[in-house]
Structure 1
Amino acid sequence: MWWEDKLVRTLRCRLRQKPGVFGGLLSVIGKEKAYVGEIKIIHMGTNYMVRDITIFVDDEAHLNKVVSAIKSFPESELLEVRDEVLEMHQGGKIAIRSRYEINDISVLRKVYTPGVAEVSLLINKNPALARRYTAIRHLVAIVTDGSAVLGLGDIGPLAAMPVMEGKASLMETLTGLSAMPILINTKDPERIIETVTSIAPTFSAIQLEDISAPRCFYIEEKIQEKLTIPVMHDDQHGTACVVTA
């Protein structure tokens, strides 16, 4: 798609409440060959209107040209240039929160000690009960070494974290499952296999993500042999599901 390689910025502009001013501003942006996306009215007054205008530009140099042109446009004032993508990622996009508000000692005794011991003893006697009395049944691990991130290539596990958080957000929204990114700082297939199988008791499924070929095929096969829970490689199975659908 045309927007995939573009920078996205939001311009907050105050424009005089006068016919033709807003249209003129859009023409200025268009003359600088920037694309216009979403437009929001932030404030509407008697003499002025404040709007947020999302634009798509090629790079920072292109953005600076657009900004200069807007600043030269009469009867409008550029109040702010915002990077809403970075703003949305500040602090991360996912979080683990308690289902219960711990607001008194009675609740604390039930969710933690001493009450939690009863649940642990039940699971110790019958491990199958872990799916009933813990979050395991809706936890999914999203595992990556960051070696083949879509559109970015081998950027490593840490830089891949925003992508994994995005996957987790989508999974929660579309399926109700809680996904946890697992960043593995090695490209050694055997170490990845060992790590995933060691942490597997925490999860009800494993999703391998953005691991380069041909290692991904071997890693997936070996993990499937060792575990009884579903194991999928998103770049294979996810793509196959979309194509089949």
Structure 2
Amino acid sequence: MKRLVITLMLIFSSIIFSQSNYEILPIKQHLNDIYIIRMLEGENIGLYSIIDSKGNLLTQTDNILISVQKNHIYLVTKDYKEGLMTTDGKWIAKIGEYNFKEKYSNMYKEAENNSEKEFFIVYINEMPRHKYGYINYKGELQIPIIYDEAENFSEGLAAVKLNNKWGYIDTEGNVKIGFNFDEAYDFKNDLALVRIDDTSFYIDKNGQKKLMKSLFREGKEKIENLGYHIGSAFEGKLKIKEKTN
């Protein structure tokens, strides 16, 4: 009986100690029955972790950043290893499994980008440059890590760079528009701005040049450049007049 009492006292004291080890942070973003905590004692004092509703640790206590986004959590350890978690505490990618192109810095304030993400750009350190690919929300490698650069998906397509040229792939990794461009931007309203040499123009999702949209862009740039030169010339005349006076 005495041994049982001592055992219960030890268990109870350990619970009290563990709870006094941290404080729960007042995070504005919505989390599903999990909490971000800051360590108040031990070797990782001042660093962060995540616990569930029962107080169980879901991560190590060595995180320097835990950033809550719309449907995921971005973590960085003191060794600068990264990880991703769902907002209910399930791992998308465990710490150190991947490096992520998108870095977040918000902890206490709400995320600027409030959209849910289905795919995440990951990269590996391969000399002399990184190689990029994509994982999905389940943490599965969706698209191989083979690209020199990669951008987020927009309207079902993503701009990726291979052998110094840009093209577009779909969410299954199929090449939908060939690697013909020196620059390539996101699709908006079924059009994307691209560049070959010194010529910029718009293309549709079949890779076809949209002449009228491109002419409108060129005309707008010419008007803006003309306005800039007129303004500069006028400013120069004013300065000359000031000097003569």
**Taking structure 2 as the reference length, what is the TM-score of the superposition?**
0.25
Using structure 1 for the length normalisation, give the TM-score.
0.25
Compare the two structures and name the one with the higher helix fraction. 1
More relative contact order, 1 or 2 (CA 8 Å, 6+ apart): 1
Whose strand fraction is larger, Structure 1's or Structure 2's?
Answer: 2
- Greater gyration radius: 2
